Amino acid sequence: MTLGEVLAGATEYLANRGVESARLDAERLLARALGLSRIELYTQHDRPLTEAEREAARELVQRRGAREPLAYVLGDWDFRRLTLRTDARALVPRPETEIVVERCLELIRGIDCPRVLDVGTGSGAIALALAHEHPGARVVATDASEAALELAQENAREHALNVTFVRADLLDGVDGTFDLVVSNPPYVDAGELAALEPEVRDWEPRSALVDEGQTGRLVADASRVLDGWLVLEVHEAHARTTAAQIEAAGYSDVGVGLDLAGKERLVEARWQPTS
């Protein structure tokens, strides 16, 4: 079988299993299995594949056909300017979270060595992107999941980025004062889980998805360590209520930001200690 025939077969296989971007995913999986760029898939379209090459491609395509997230099958995923290792230990970093990082960078731009706390760091995406794009930043990141922290530490080592990782329930036990506390806490309502795509529902860690009151607790506790900005990624349906909650807690400069799709996904506010 030629590469082109295997690509066509893989596309059909994935489409039949409900994968939305079947052609694109098949291209990325074949390219990875064969060690080629996507362009080379086309320049080598008529080349017959060896049995070993077909087996390597089959393994990846079957995993994706079981609706495992593309990022887990590939084992890495681009986030901002970094390529992060991705697997079932943590949530796949999302494009909307890149906007959160963008906003954080704007808020700390004027500070040479901002003290930053990322709560619920998962793969380390937010903490590592901030450390990478603001080299003066001193970044601490927490997660309740030991497995997620392991992955985040692997990513930090891979990119030689200096972030302090702490296992903690939100920011329990975290002391000090931060110019920025940022978090993308779990924000799916438990009742919504069943309706989500299998990639999310069946593969990503439930503890990274389901809201168990983390946002409310964060708002209440972050002011203890803040002299600056709180930035939260939120469920689009909860942005206004979260903003109101933050305002009621005594924060100033409360604002709601949009993601690339125009959905209200970000809430920010400022806390200035009185003494």
**Residue 231 found at the interface with ligand SAM (CB under 6 A):** no
Q: Give min distance, CB of 165 to ligand SAM, in A.
A: 11
Please tell me whether residue 97 binds ligand SAM under the rule CB under 6 A.
Answer: yes
CB of 141 to ligand SAM, least distance (A): 8
Write the CA distances from 181 to 169, 215, 237, integer angstroms: 15, 12, 22
- Contact with ligand SAM (CB under 6 A): which of 14, 125, 130, 239? 125
**79, 130, 80: which is closest to 107 by C-alpha?**
130
Residue 155 makes contact with ligand SAM by CB under 6 A: no
- Which CB, 92 or 108, lies closer to ligand SAM? 92
Select the span of 25-33, 44-52, 206-214, 251-259 touching ligand SAM (CB under 6 A). 206-214
230 scored as a contact of ligand SAM (CB under 6 A): no
**Residues numbered 8-37 forming contacts with ligand SAM, rule: CB under 6 A:** none
Task: Please list the residues that pair with 264 across neighbouring strands.
Answer: 258
The single residue among 31, 41, 91, 151 that binds ligand SAM, judged by CB under 6 A, is 91
Q: Does 207 bind ligand SAM (CB under 6 A)?
A: yes
In the complex, minimum distance from the CB of residue 112 to ligand SAM, in angstroms, rounded to a whole number: 25
Give the end-to-end CA distance of the chain in Å, rounded to a whole number. 73
Which position among 3, 208, 234, 269 is part of the footprint of ligand SAM (CB under 6 A)? Answer: 208
Contact pick of 14, 64, 137, 145 for ligand SAM (by CB under 6 A):
145
86 binding ligand SAM? (CB under 6 A) = no
Check binding of 148 to ligand SAM (CB under 6 A). Answer: yes
Binding of ligand SAM at residue 69 (CB under 6 A)?
Answer: no
Which of 83, 126, 82, 114 has the alpha carbon at shortest distance from 231?
Answer: 126
- The two tokens of residue 10 are 């893989």
Using CB under 6 A as the criterion, which residues of the chain lie in contact with ligand SAM when the complex forms? 90-91, 93, 97, 120-123, 125-126, 142-145, 148, 169-170, 184-186, 207-208, 214
